[in-house]
A and B are shown apart, each in its own frame.
Chain A
Amino acid sequence: MTVSYENSKAVFDGIKAAGIRSISALPETWLGLLLQRAEDDPEVDLIQVAKEEEAVGVAAGAYFAGEPHILLMQNHGFFAAMNGIISLAQLYSVPLCMLIAVRGHWGEPYPWHTRGGIVTEGLLQALNIPYHHARDPALVAKEIAEAYTLSQSSLSPVALLLTRDLMEV
């Protein structure tokens, strides 16, 4: 299993097509090619954080500044960011558009990812975070734009889940 070059490009192109030029991220395998593109693109402002909760603060700062922003993280990073999501984004009605690589679910060969994969949807539901699974590279640009639009109109965190079907070949 390797990360899909074409589909990483489709996700990156979708982010740019949605008008987003500001990204915060914590790198992980599925996001690697995508982040490489972000780093190489002079139009894109990428901040790589040390822990995902920082990205919630960075995203809030970008939002206050009026800059469309997206967060890239793994589902385990979403867990690490949870207090920031609740006690900054949700408490203050700050929108977050999160693209979350969902490891540890259907087809997962690595035991260490599985517990997080199993609980991810339940946690999103517990936090009332709307989510959608992105599986098809032909649709992902539209799905990113829709996730961003809903985050802005609802002033809430929204999650687009990047699945194995999309990210691996």
Chain B
Amino acid sequence: MRRADCLELIYPEIEDKLVVTIMGACAQELYDLGHRENFFYLQHAMGLASSIGLGLANHLPHEKVIVLDGDGSALMNLGTFTTLARYRPRNFLHIIFDNGSLLSTGGFESHTTSGVTDLAAIARGAGIEHAASVASPMAFGEAFVEALERDDLGVIVARVDAVGPDNYGMDFALPENAFRFKRCVQERRAATGWTPPTQPGHASSA
């Protein structure tokens, strides 16, 4: 199973959700399907995509937050499973594409390659009740639909091939992605009747 096929499968469902991806191939494959202002690509800081998702989900109960993670990134922030389990944001779906490889940083084998380390078992051990392992597009699609309908914190570990796109590039700078993503999130929040808090200093003249 290829990650790109999984992304294509769920794209119609996630194109209106708040999506945070990890770096490299995963970010590029989503971007290549069609960028949306509600997508944020974390092109570095490996491990923190799920933490960003927690910060979003915690303050935006009206949104569904989807994090597209990888085995290499998840292994760099295993503590995130315990933090997510403790606060259990019900509007948070954590998808981990496990290709057993640090593909975007040179293609070295990750710790999950051996078949010994089971990320879904780690998530369950951390206290996340709903953690599925899938290895076929059909099973992935079913697990995704179930997780969305369940309305609870969920993890899906999808075993995928260690392949990525041939070309990399996006038509905006990294801070621009952050600025536009923030604007998009806040506009959607404002549509719920929420008004942004007054920032210190904004009331007085510069």
A residues lining the B interface (CB < 8 Å)? 18-19, 22, 24, 45, 47-51, 53-69, 83-84, 87-88, 91-94, 145, 148-149, 152-153, 155
Contact = CB atoms under 8 A, between A and B. Distances in A.
B130 to A, nearest CB: 20
10 contacts: A53-B77, A54-B54, A54-B83, A58-B55, A60-B48, A60-B52, A64-B178, A66-B185, A68-B197, A91-B45
Contacts, number: 136
Given A19-B197, A149-B201, 11 more contacts: A18-B200, A57-B48, A57-B55, A61-B52, A62-B59, A64-B52, A87-B44, A91-B174, A145-B200, A152-B199, A152-B200
Contacts of B185: 64-66
Closest 4 CB pairs of A and B: A61-B55, A57-B51, A50-B79, A57-B48
Contacts of B43: 91
B49 interface: yes
B51 A148 contact: no
Given A19-B198, A49-B79, A153-B201, A61 B58 contact: yes
Nearest to A54: B51
Contacts of A58: 51-52, 54-55, 58
- Chain A interface mostly helix, strand, loop or mixed? helix
Interface centre among B51, B82, B177 (most CB of A within 10 A): B51
Contacts of B189: 65-66
Contact of B55 (A59, A83, A84, A149): A59
B42 interface: yes
A149 B57 CA distance: 25
Nearest to A59: B55
A47 B186 CA distance: 21
Nearest to A67: B59
Contacts of A92: 174-175, 177-178
Nearest to B40: A64
Interface centre among A24, A58, A152 (most CB of B within 10 A): A58
B200 A66 contact: no
A22 B182 CA distance: 17
Contacts of B179: 93
B46 to A, nearest CB: 8
Interface string B175-199: 1011101100110010000101111
